[in-house]
Each structure stands twice: as structure tokens, then as C-alpha cells.
Chain A
Amino acid sequence: MNRRWVDYVLREGSEFGEFLADPERQRTPTLFVLGGGFDPRTTTALEWLISARGGDQLEIVRLGLPQGMAGGLEEAWAQYNHQRVEEVAVGTGVELFDIPWPHAADAPSAGLMVIRQLIEEGYFEKVEQVVVDISALPRAAYFPVLGGLLKLAHGGSFGGDIHAVVCDNPAVDDVMVYEGAEGGAALGGFADKLEEARSTQDHPIVWAPVVGPHSLAQLEALLDFLEPDEICPVLPFPAANPRRPDDLLLQYREFLFSEDVHVGSRNFIYGSESNPFDLYRSLGDLQSRYRQALAPLGPATVALSAHSSKLMSIGVLLAAYEHELPVVHVFPSRYYIVNDADVGALGAYDTLTDLWLAGEPYRG
């Protein structure tokens, strides 16, 4: 199979806006999609982009997110972010559309309802470029939104460019924690025949969790949900901190080497922490290897899950999208800022990355 993202476009740090703010593209009708929650990184990419290219030919869609705890730091940050986006929009004459978080019976449906609404209401019809800022969006939202956009692009219904941007900040990730891990499910739009495979139980299931910190309860919930036959944990390497894979192994040693999981030393695979396209390649190789090897036992299902940084999770999304792999996830009941941390002070560690996923560089 020809892989779509063998040659890719990724710009990070000082090169972040090389394409997004390119003078030639400043008149390209652009839709900027961002989250409306309390994450302090909510407006970082938007403000950078507007300062670099101005608000001409720009529209913003703000996806409302479930509210955090009333009266806490989360509420204060959510109000600040809300106000800041409005100030930016009003100050530059940019039109701002709010899409509230849908009332879904099942958590995985919410993101699907959002992308279906965006398509049905024609948000992508008048623009030639869509930028999805995943920094302040949960996986339950940006996986279906980006997945739907890629489907439109590859199905010929959207001819423009698709970018995913992320403001990565491990220090902020460390103080934003989730609450509740009561059950696993496939992410909306990424079930990919998982349930059909489980209906006939003789088809092997291989699970490749991309491991990140503070996710033990999620890993345990997904193990319970998937009951996989084989587990191949993915560790971030190369990483900014070269000891990161070791630290993660130590943190999860009891889980990874328990009787239930029993990961063999050859099962570990690695993906670059800063380059999701590298992870995309590794996961592509993994799925093809397992599917071939297990073919005599029936069609194997390789399920993925992303417990890592949002940047790495894009690698999971691309691999799942291209190879039609299910992505499983535990939907937390809410997120919060731990111990009233001074998240504002952590902004100095923000790194912006632009991932160009569809459009001009990939044509012909």
C-alpha cells in the first residue's frame, strides 16, 4: 500500500508559521477550529496566526466543551479563554461561530455529532484552508473532526488544505489531569469493525497503546474492554528527555509485566516524541506485520490507543485513518488542573507545531 504521509510537511518552533502565515496564503479563505475549554493553550496558536497574517479571510469555529468544575481554577481559565477569543475576533473583524458540545447519550458520539454538524452546515464549503488547533481539544473531539476532514479531502468533497496545529507543553500536560476511567470504547469514527471482530471471537486482537504518563487507570480499563491477544506498547523515542521511555517503563512496570498483560521485550516499539509522522510509519509497519503473520488465524485487528502527548496522538490518528484501525479510548468524566497549579507561568514552555495533512503538498 502506498502510504500517504511518507513525505510530509511538519513545521515546528520558529518555523511554525512558514506556510500558515506565508504572504501568498494570507488571502486564502481559512477556517480556524479551536476548543472552548479551560486549557491555557487555547488561544496560543490563534493569537500567533492572527499576529502573523491578520484576520483577513479568516473565520473561527469554537467548539464548546463540557464545563469543568464550577468555582474552581478551571472556570476562571475557561472564562478568560472565552473572553480572549472574542477580543481577538472583534479586534480583527473575524467572524466567530460557536458550536456547543452536543448532548450525546454515548461519549464517543459527541465528536461524531460535531463533525457531522460542521459538514451539514457547510462550514468547509466556502474555505480553501482548514486549520484545526487540537491544543485545547480532547481526543474525543479532534479525532472525529480531523478524521471527517480527511475523508472529505480524500473523497473529493474538499479540495483545500488541512492543517492540524498543536501547542505542545509537557509541563502543562503534567498539571492537567483527568478524573474517571470507568470504561473503554472506540473513538467516534474510529471503531473500524472492532465490534464485528469481537463478535466472532476467534479473530486475534493486537493492541498498541502509545504510552504516556498518568494513564494507568485508562490502560487497565482498555485492557478490560479489549481483551487483546497481544500487546505492543509504543514508547516515545527519540524524546526530549532521553530517559522518558525508561521512566514510563518504570511507572508502568507492574501493569506491563503483570500476568494479564505480560508484554515480551520484543513487543515494544518506538516512535519519535516530536514527529507524529514517524509514529505513523511505525504503527503502519506494526499493523502490516501482525496482519500478515496472523492471517492463518483469521483477519487480525490491530487496535490503537493514544495516552501520549497530543502531538504524538496525530501519528495514531493518521495510522488508524489510513489502515482502518480502531482507536480505543477511555472517556474521562472531566479534566481539572491539579493542585491549583500556576498554569499561566508554564506558557514559556509552549512549542507550536504545524502538521500539514492534506492539500497541495500531497497532490499528484
Chain B
Amino acid sequence: MRSYRNPFRVRTSEVQHRQGSGLFLNTYGPAVLDLLPEDIWDRLFVIRSAPGGGKTSLMKLFEAETLRTLHERREKLPDLAERLSSLGALAPEGPAVVGVRLDLRRNYKSVVDLTGHAELATRLFLRLLNARIVIGALEAALMLAGRRFPADVAHIYVQASSEGREALDRLGGRSGQMLFENARGIETEILDLVDSLMPVSTEGIAGHAELYGLHALQDATIWVAGEALPGDLLLMFDDGQELHPTQREAIIRRLVDRNVAGARWYSERLQAVSTQEVIGDEGPLERDVRLLQLERTARRGVAPDGRPGARRRSFDPLLLDIANRRARRPLQIYGEESDDFNTLIDVDRDDLLGARPQQVISRLRAKVEAASGGDYRYARWIEHVAGKTGYEAALAWRELEILIARDKDRRQGQLFDLQLEPETMSERTSSSIREAAACFLAHEFRLPYYAGTSQIPKLASFNIEQFLDLGGSLFEEMLALITLGRTPWIGPSRQDTIVREASDRLWGQIPERYSHGRDIQRLLVEIAEMCRRETFRPKAPYPPGATGTAISADDRRRLLAPAQRAAIAGGDQLYRALAQAIAFNLLEVEDDYSVKGKRWMVLYLNRLLCPRFNLPLGRGGFRERKLEQLARCLIPGSNSTANNGSESDGSVQLQL
């Protein structure tokens, strides 16, 4: 039997590592570059996201090897080449930057444990980092010159600027060979100490006070076999969450320095940011730093080509573009399929009603007629909806049921009972109410809901890896259909099932994957159960539905203050679980939300968790919770409101 490859299951880094940068470039969606802010070359540029947000891929795009490959294939990848050219990373004659990505996951934190002296530990860390900057720069230079690393390091000569000369001398001199040997020596010396099973002494071991690698190489001209490399150095420090807080502070402080002229980027997962910062959003960043928070920026929408003032568009088409790029070739090869991935998951809304559309519509109509109780007030509304057919009819009947429930509530105490004209329907409804109606309809009749190009990208929660994982599951189904000799189009029911399975998988992985995972689950259940209660009320009070909770600014301050937090039963557990859930994008934060004169931190459930709880995917609806209520669910053996299913607690209801 023929074996198929699932292009969604190949991680970006893996693609590049194993198969070179060609395939990586083929699958990279250039619209991601629209997320980049301006001024990323002359100051520190910080990228933050949850795991899978696309930080590393973004940095890999600017690595020497990738840029060189892109230059060689620029005719095949004109969109990407054009965007990188407009950003200044690619020139007509080749890469315009010498991109070096430094993986900060590699043993730096252990250096702190070598010595009890914090200052010495930081100096050793900087020395190791300098060594790796040198190794990275030499490798990138040889890559751009088409030579082998490390075999050809002797062909390199570094000509530092007058400011960088002293720093270069500290790193081993001007010859590539000397620089390389010195750097490797440092790496071996420090790592051998770090990993020693025998007692160690750091006496007599020198460290570095500065990022000499940056100072020495930022304005330097690198010669390879007598040819000067065009382009300035771009140092990209990746995965800063793996550094110790003192190291993180040390590196950021040095990178922020405006006296450093070179381009330097730094990325970290949200978990690197202290719990105080994650919950409190109090970053140490200064005004001279450009910050890109990938999920947050994506949530706000993308400005095409990064043009200031340009109308922002949704992140969803970008995700679908990535899916199309990944799936296009395999679909052509395996199934001789000319349709895009998009088209193959697109659904006709009438198909959502399955095999019994008339039965569904009749039952909905009967429910509305029963709700109206024959009241002539609604006769024209009913008449108006009765003229519709198919899914439009089903949706309109369910929408009408909500509107009648709302109208009955608001007319209590009114003296005159006027018949409502069809026009008033459109005045009283909204796209959110229609979305709530669609969710109710699916829930009550067990119809597919999580399907189609409008829903699938939403389930990504603005996280590319999460989207690729879901795309991979859908693509597997396409491969199965191809194997059976069928068209790889996936119907809405099957899509809905696949999405729900993915949702359950995400849920099941939480304890195993994340610290405080069980507490995170308890917290999420508390929030989700409350959302379900609020969402499925007859009047749909939070259209399209509540999918999050909110903590007031005062409560947030109490949570951040150790003494006040300690006074709350379960407060410490909540503090940790909340920080982890936010850091890993299981809860999405919208800060400083203003409702009814108060400020709130809104916490939305990750969209891929919504199917597990039958919740809608639209944003906007949430219900606030007091700190004590949220913390209570984390006390072992406690019966939270979510668990005992108790109803309203008298708190203020928030309507957006």
C-alpha cells in the first residue's frame, strides 16, 4: 500500500533541520511577516508568545541558510522574497543580513548552579554566550559564502570597527580559526564544569562582563576567502524562557542598550515572564524596545504589509493560507486534487442539517409557536420566518425563539401590546445573536457546528502550532478518503467529530504537559461550567455565548500581593495555575477591559477547549468571578460552584 506523508505533522524546525530550508520556505505563510512592527533593526526587538506561536519559525526565516536558499529560489517564492526585501533582509544580490539564531535552551541555566556568587555566575554565562555568538557568526558567514562549517573557519578574517576591536581581541583575535578554537575551548571548559559529577571549583575561571560578541561583530566586516560579506549581523536570541531570571535580566539589559547599533532580536515564551508579569502585565521592557506579542497582535488583526494606519484584517485567512501551502502539493500528488485545503473543508450551510432538515425545521417551528402561545404580537415575525428554507430557516426559527424570550422579558409591565413587524426583528437581532442561535441549534439537535472555513481557523486561538495540529487531523481524513478513491472533501459531521476529538486530546494532555496541570484543569472546568450555564439560557444573555471569565482590577491586585493572596483559601494555587494557563495559551487574556466603569482582566478559554464544553467560538461574552470563587475550586476536596451546579451567586452580570 502506498504510504502518504501528512505535511501538517512536520514541525517547522524539524523540516529545516532534516530537509533543509527549501521545504520550510515552501510552507511558510508570508502574511506572518505582516505581524512585524516597524523599527526592528536599530533596537532590541522582543517576540513573545505561547509555545507554538511561531517565534522560532519567524527567526529561522532570517537565518543565513534560509535567506540564502530564498535568494536562490526567489522566482519560485516571489511573495516571500518581496516581503523580506521590503523589510530589508534581502537585497537583489543576496541576503542583506547575516542572520544568526542562538538557542538559549542550551545549558545556560545550569551555569547559575556552578557558584554561589551571582556576579560570577552571570559573567560565566556571558562568556559562554559570547563563545556561541562567535560560533554562530562563523557558521553563518561560511553558509553565506557557500563554504563548509567548521572545516573552512580558517578562511575567515574579521575586521572589527574601532569600537569593536578590543572586544574582538577578548574573543580570540581576528582570524576565524583563532576565534573558533577559543570559542570551542570556552564552551568545553564551562560545560565540563557544569556537568561534573565530582566537586568543582570556579576559582580562577574568568568570565565576561559584557556581550563582547555583539560589540565585536556588530559593525565588523567579515571576510571569507578574501571576499567581504555584504550585510550586517542580525543576532537572534531564541527561547529566552530557558534562562534563569538573573541571566534573562542580564541579557535584556545589555541588548536594550541603545549604544549597541546592531540588529538584535530576543524571543521568549510567556512562561519566561514572571508570574507577576504574566498576570499583572508589568514587563520590564523599556521604551526603546519593540515588542511583538504574537497571539495578542494576531487577535487584533493584521495590517497588510505592516503599513501603519492600514485597515487590519483577520488572522484567519493567514492560517488558511498556511494550510493551503502545506496541503497543495501532497493533494496534487496523492489525489490528483486541484482543490485547495480550504475548499475541501468548506461546507454548504444546508449540509449542517444532515439527513433530516425538514424534521429539524418543523420541530423548531413548533417550539416557536408554542413559545409565542398564539400571541398575535409575534404573528408577523412567524410569517416572515416561515418563508425561509433550509439552514436559513432553521437558524431563523432558533433566532426567533431567542428574540421572543427576550421580548417577553422586556414587555412585562407594558400597557400596550403591539404587533411586531418583521423590520423590528433585524433591529433587535445581531450577528452575535445569530451565532448564539447557530450554537443552540447545533447543541439541541446534535448537529455539526465546528466545521467549515469560518470555524476551523478560530479554533487555533491565534496559535499556529495548534492550527497545524488540527489541520493535521483533518488532512489525515483527506488521506483516508484518497486511499478509498473518494474526493477528499470532508463533510461537516466528520469535521465536527474530528474537532471534538482534538479538543478532548488537548484537554487530556494538560496534566501531563504542564506544571500544575491538574489545578489548571480544575480552574478551566470552573470557568467552562459557568460559561455553559450562562450561554444556554433561553434569552442568550451573552451572545454568542459566554466563553470566559473576568477578574476585576482590584482582585487582580489582591492576587498579585503575596500577603493578600495568602489570606485567600486556594489563592496560591490559583496564582500559579492562572499564570501557567495564560503562559501556555489555555486562557487568553484581554487586559484592562472597561465595563460599567470598572476595569477587568478578561480570561477567555482557548478556542479548542470550547468544543469539549459545547461552547461557541465567538468572543465577547464573559461573566465575572470574584477571586475567592475561582480560588475555591482549587482547594482539594472542595465543592466549587461549577461542580455543584449552583446557579447565580448574585454577582454583577457583564454584558458586552
In the complex, A259→B6 CA distance in Å? Answer: 7
Pick the most buried of B109, B512, B518: most chain A CB atoms within 10 A of its CB. Answer: B512
The answer to whether B9 touches A259 (Cβ under 8 A) is yes
Query: Taking A198-B106, A227-B13, A259-B10 as contacts, is the C-beta distance between A191 and B194 under 8 angstroms?
Result: yes
Q: Given A180-B514, A196-B184, A259-B6, answer yes or no on A112-B509 (Cβ-Cβ < 8 Å).
A: no
> How far apart sit A105 and B188, CA to CA, in the bound complex (Å)?
21
B200: which A residues are within 8 A, CB to CB?
Answer: 116
Provide the residues of chain B in CB contact with A113, threshold 8 Å: 113
Judged by a CB distance under 8 angstroms, whether B493 is at the interface is no
Bound CA span A196–B191, Å: 9
- B150 and A182 contacting across the interface, CB-CB below 8 Å: no
In contact, A200 and B149 (Cβ under 8 angstroms):
yes
Contact between B197 and A334, CB atoms less than 8 A apart: no
Q: Does B76 contact A (CB under 8 A)?
A: no
Interface size class of A (residues with CB under 8 A): 35 or more
- The verdict on A147 contacting B105 (CB below 8 Å), with A181-B512, A182-B515, A259-B5 known, is no
Interface flag for B187 (CB, 8 Å): yes
> Given A105-B113, A113-B113, do A119 and B271 touch, yes or no (CB 8 Å)?
no
Tell me how many residue pairs across A and B have CB atoms closer than 8 Å. 125
Chain B: minimal CB distance from A98 (Å): 20
- Which of B11, B107, B515 lies in contact with A195, CB distance below 8 A? B107
Contact with B along A213-225 (1 / 0, CB 8 A): 0101100000011
CB contact list, A81-133 vs B, under 8 A: 104-106, 108-109, 112-113, 115-116, 119-120
Partner of A109, one of B5, B113, B515, B516: B113
Give the docked Cα–Cα distance between A196 and B190 (Å).
11
Contact among B113, B187, B197 for A199, CB-based, below 8 A: B187
Q: How far is the CB of A300 from chain B (nearest CB, A)?
A: 15
Contacts of A108 in B (CB 8 A): 110
Cβ of B412 within 8 Å of any chain A Cβ, yes or no, is no
CB distance from B463 to the nearest CB of A (A): 16
Bound-complex Cα distance A227 to B13 (A) = 8
Could you tell me the distance between the alpha carbons of A190 and B105 in the complex, rounded to whole angstroms?
17
Q: Are A334 and B636 in contact (CB under 8 A)?
A: no
CA gap between A198 and B136 in the complex, in Å: 11
For window 297-343 of A, CB contacts with B under 8 Å fall at 333-334, 336
User: Is B563 an interface position by the 8 A CB rule?
Assistant: no
- When the two chains form the complex, which single residue of B5, B9, B107, B113 contacts A191, counting CB atoms closer than 8 Å? B107
- B402 to chain A: closest CB distance in Å? 41
Asked if A151 lies at the interface with its beta carbon under 8 angstroms from chain B, I say yes
Q: Which residues of B contact A109 (CB under 8 A)?
A: 110, 113, 194
Q: Are B112 and A191 in contact (CB under 8 A)?
A: no
Contact between chains at A179 and B516 (CB < 8 Å): yes
Determine if A171 is an interface residue (Cβ-Cβ < 8 Å).
Answer: no
The reply to whether the CB of A71 lies closer than 8 angstroms to some CB of chain B is yes
A194: min CB distance to chain B, Å: 9
Which residues of B sit under 8 angstroms from A181, Cβ to Cβ? 512-513
> Contact between B196 and A334 (Cβ–Cβ < 8 Å)?
no
Query: Nearest chain-B residue to A334 (Cβ)?
Result: B515
Beyond A196-B184, A259-B5, A259-B9, whether A105 also contacts B109 by CB under 8 A is yes
Check B511–A119 contact: CB distance below 8 A. no
- The answer to whether B515 touches A180 (Cβ under 8 A) is yes
Residues 1 to 41 of chain B near chain A (Cβ within 8 Å): 5-7, 9-11, 13-14, 17-18
Q: Which residue of A lies closest to B583 (CB)?
A: A182
**3 tightest Cβ-Cβ pairs between the two chains A and B:** A333-B515, A109-B113, A180-B515
A-B contact pairs, 15 of them (CB 8 A): A71-B636, A105-B110, A178-B512, A179-B518, A180-B512, A180-B513, A182-B515, A183-B105, A185-B107, A198-B103, A200-B139, A202-B149, A224-B13, A227-B14, A259-B10
